[in-house]
């Protein structure tokens, strides 16, 4: 009896030992997971931005930036050789990001899943009643994909860790003072400056969009203050460079080719109809991630860099816009050339210089080049489901190719002078370079 008891006792010890060994394994890396979970959240964010009131381009870009950061930090312990961005990003301490427990197994896709849900709840719930349910539904769907292949302990631990990371990023995001920025696009307390060559309303919207956005915290240090040349000196003299620049806008509008008109409409990316211009850049990132079939680690790095780049692009651009407060082409041309002139695209309600499309596409191109190369050809199918414009997928031979086309589209649309476009792309590239200075590894 005693021998049988001893045998049973030692057998129990062996089983306990091996059960502990199963738990204390060498943790898996993000290499074993596809990009699908991260891409599903990007897809959802793009769709919700399109359908949520108040998500102007700067507001949308903020959401994309924090989503990318949350997903990256949730997966980062599983990306071999990669570092936290805590202690590098403006206002985010290293201690603010929770650590995964060493020696334990995590499913990094589930961690990303939970973190993405947390940050999107914070950014999107208040804008539209159905957003919270949509987010919870995606969380449940993505979680269900991994339950059968993982122990209950791994599933619970991974979701809990992702939730902790997500909550840390929610707290960080809230400290920028823009938690409900979708409600304050046109602050009534803003006094519109007046003066020669200054912006004046071009529609019934008398207060310009997000006039204080240039003071919003950036991710990359130095991004609000990247060097930008001033616009051409304002003048109404027909021989002046400024008049000639406005005349270029007027003349191109008189003879737009079918191709130029298609480009203008394709890149308009109006709020309420699309995920806005920064969403178009994030959509391109998603297209590339899918085309390459990258793993989860490369995907979240891509989404973080593009998201932060387009966010900072709008901070930098908006600071420039309200520094110079330059008159729009539609105002100048109607005053000096043709009082009944109307471009093919409506002019958005904020100052002219520099071009937001140009800055954000330049920033996105800069970071995408660093990840996938300078001569990366791709097909952009972002608008293939649209019937209100020619949304036929467009082919690009490089990221610079898409950025330059997105930028010049605003010239064809009659919205910007050429200098705002060319300087804007350069400004965006400087913003992108500052994001690339963050040490991911």
Q: What pLDDT score was predicted for residue 13?
A: 40
Helices assigned H by DSSP within 236-295: 241-254, 258-266, 276-292
pLDDT in tens, 376-396: 999 999 999 999 999 999 999
Residue 432 CA to residue 400 CA, distance in Å, equals: 13
Q: What pLDDT score was predicted for residue 17?
A: 40
- Residue-averaged pLDDT of the chain: 94
In the predicted structure, residue 271 carries a pLDDT above the cut 80: yes
pLDDT in tens, 59-96: 999 999 999 999 999 999 999 999 999 999 999 999 99
Q: What pLDDT score was predicted for residue 277?
A: 98
Q: What pLDDT score was predicted for residue 25?
A: 56
pLDDT in tens, 90-128: 999 999 999 999 999 999 999 999 999 999 999 999 999
Q: How far is CA 401 from CA 336, 378, 379, 390, in A?
A: 34, 10, 12, 19
pLDDT in tens, 348-379: 999 999 999 999 999 999 999 999 999 999 99
pLDDT interval class at 152 (50, 70, 90): very high
In the predicted structure, residue 433 carries a pLDDT above the cut 50: yes
Q: What pLDDT score was predicted for residue 18?
A: 39
Average the pLDDT over 336-342 and give the result. 98
Residues in contact with 303: Cβ distance below 8 Å, sequence separation at least 6, in sequence order: 38, 42, 67, 68, 71, 72, 282, 285, 286, 289
Q: Give start-end residues of each CATH 1.20.144.10 domain in the chain.
A: 26-174
Report the CATH fold assignment for 26-174.
Vanadium-containing Chloroperoxidase; domain 1 (1.20.144)
Closest to 214 in 3D by CA, of 363, 312, 89, 316: 316
Q: Is the peptide bond before 212 cis (omega within 30 degrees of 0)?
A: no
Question: Residue 295 pairs with which residues in a beta bridge?
Answer: 34
pTM listed for this prediction: 0.94
pLDDT in tens, 179-229: 999 999 999 999 999 999 999 999 999 999 999 999 999 999 999 999 999
The CATH number corresponding to 190-436 among 1.10.645.10, 1.10.3720.10, 1.10.606.20, 3.40.50.720 equals: 1.10.606.20
Q: What pLDDT score was predicted for residue 10?
A: 43
- Kindly state the tokens that stand for 9: 């006792």
Q: Give start-end residues of each CATH 1.10.606.20 domain in the chain.
A: 190-436
Q: What pLDDT score was predicted for residue 90?
A: 95
Angle among Cα 222, 214, 271 to the nearest 5 degrees reads: 120
- Kindly state the tokens that stand for 207: 């207060």
pLDDT in tens, 291-308: 999 999 999 999 999 999
């Amino acid at each position: 009896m005693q021998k049988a008891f001893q045998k049973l006792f030692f057998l129990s010890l062996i089983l306990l030992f091996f059960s502990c060994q199963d738990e204390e394994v060498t943790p898996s890396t993000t290499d074993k997971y596809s990009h699908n979970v991260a891409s599903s959240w990007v897809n959802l964010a793009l769709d919700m931005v399109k359908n949520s009131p108040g998500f102007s381009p700067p507001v949308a870009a903020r959401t994309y930036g924090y989503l990318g950061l949350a997903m990256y930090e949730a997966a980062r312990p599983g990306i071999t050789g990669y570092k936290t961005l805590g202690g590098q990003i403006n206002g985010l301490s290293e201690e603010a990001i929770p650590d995964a427990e060493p020696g334990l197994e995590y499913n990094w896709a589930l961690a990303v899943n939970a973190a993405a849900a947390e940050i999107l709840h914070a950014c999107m719930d208040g804008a539209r009643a159905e957003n919270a349910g949509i987010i919870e539904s995606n969380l449940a769907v993505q979680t269900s994909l991994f339950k059968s292949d993982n122990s209950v302990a791994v599933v619970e631990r991974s979701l809990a860790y992702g939730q902790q990371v997500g909550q840390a990023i929610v707290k960080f995001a809230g400290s920028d003072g823009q938690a409900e920025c979708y409600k304050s696009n046109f602050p009534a307390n803003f006094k519109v400056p007046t003066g020669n060559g200054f912006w004046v309303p071009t529609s019934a919207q008398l207060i310009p969009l997000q006039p204080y956005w240039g003071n919003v915290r950036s991710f990359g240090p130095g991004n609000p203050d990247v060097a930008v040349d001033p616009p051409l000196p304002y003048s109404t003299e027909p021989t002046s460079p400024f008049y000639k620049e406005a005349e270029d806008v007027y003349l191109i509008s008189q003879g737009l080719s079918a191709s130029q008109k298609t480009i203008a409409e394709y890149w308009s990316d109006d709020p309420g109809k699309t995920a806005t211009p920064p969403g178009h850049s994030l959509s391109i990132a998603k297209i590339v991630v899918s085309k390459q079939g990258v793993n989860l680690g490369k995907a979240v790095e891509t989404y973080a860099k593009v998201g932060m780049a387009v966010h900072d692009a709008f901070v930098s651009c908006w600071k420039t816009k309200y520094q110079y407060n330059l008159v729009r082409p539609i105002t100048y041309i109607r005053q000096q050339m043709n009082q009944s002139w109307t471009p093919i695209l409506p002019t958005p309600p904020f100052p002219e210089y520099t071009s937001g499309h140009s800055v954000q596409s330049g920033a996105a191109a800069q970071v995408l080049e660093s990840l996938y190369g300078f001569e990366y050809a791709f097909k952009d199918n972002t608008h293939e489901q649209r019937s209100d414009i020619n949304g036929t997928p467009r082919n690009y031979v490089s990221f610079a190719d898409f950025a330059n086309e997105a930028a010049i589209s605003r010239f064809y649309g009659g919205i910007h002078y050429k200098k705002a476009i060319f300087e804007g792309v350069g400004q965006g590239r400087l913003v992108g370079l500052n994001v690339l200075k963050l040490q991911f590894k």
